[in-house]
Structure 1
């Protein structure tokens, strides 16, 4: 895998407060901001996104209870070209001593999987859906 970090998602305790902070910090047009009930995404050049996500939901994504020491406060996302590449990377993760948290699954955002490295840091692998 030649990592291309496409998205950095950070855990926040107060989504509104974090949004106000990063909105003031980033020099970004309103059209480059997307929000839902549980997240705010800032879309930058070169297919890079910075996402705010509730910390307790990052713990759930990582398959860990929030109170467990070592629960990550962020997720790194790598964009793969195809679902097959996502699955091939997961095989390498296991061989290298990591753990698969969520196997490759079709979602509304494409095909994605989650794994943790040997130190418990969480990565998302994703392949975007084919354009219609």
Structure 2
């Protein structure tokens, strides 16, 4: 297997409402999608939204479950200021702030928000990881 993730699919209650959150609230570029799903082009991957029960049925598992799902998505940025800005942007778009932006125990700076369906996103500045294009690192 090649070391990459090409798409992350999130099971949601209302595809149209969740798509609006990601498209209008967070500014992700949505690509043309059938009405029962929504796809967003990210740098190097896609984000897919699908009705939770349909996604579970497709995988052959129960759609029941709540609380921590043992996964969170992380969006790395280049500064502590960017963490605060993106967290504010997400909350203004309808996300729930789960953890205020703050220093991380491992030396970075981060915060967490939950999207309208409860999916956890960490917004993180990691001074030990470069997040820009490889040819611009100094």
Q: Per the shorter chain, which TM-score range?
A: 0.3 to 0.5
Q: Which entry has the higher C-alpha Rg, 1 or 2?
A: 2
TM-score normalised to structure 2 length: 0.42
Greater strand share, 1 or 2? 1
